[in-house]
Amino acid sequence: MKPAIHPDYHPVVFQDATTGAAFLTRSTITSSRSIEWWTPEGVRTYPLVVVEVTSDSHPFWTGGRRIVDTAGQVEKFHRRYGSRPAND
């Protein structure tokens, strides 16, 4: 790799804003906030990035589903385009 052209890749803690779950990973993102994180070498301070959605709160991973009003959508379609007779 060429020196001095790559961004700083360092440990960062991401925290879910909804659940409060946090995990340590590596990233190039920077933050003015920090958090103390326990490691096998002792407590260390890492940058903290708070995100809206992680796998801990995303509906796909948690099994939560949105209620979709399909009947209302079909009625809206028929109002807008009308119902046409089938050509057999």
DSSP label at 56? T
**Can you give the pTM of this predicted structure?**
0.64
Give φ, ψ of 53 to 5 degrees: -135, 130
Torsion angle of C-alpha atoms 42, 40, 14, 50, degrees rounded to 10: -20
Q: How many CB atoms lie within 10 A of CB 86?
A: 5
Structure tokens of 51? 């995100």
* Paired residues of 42 in beta bridges: 39
Condensed to tens digits (0 to 9), the pLDDT of residues 15-44 reads 998 889 999 999 999 999 999 999 999 999
Among the listed residues 69, 75, 56, the one whose alpha carbon sits nearest the alpha carbon of residue 17: 56
Where along the chain do its domains lie? 10-81
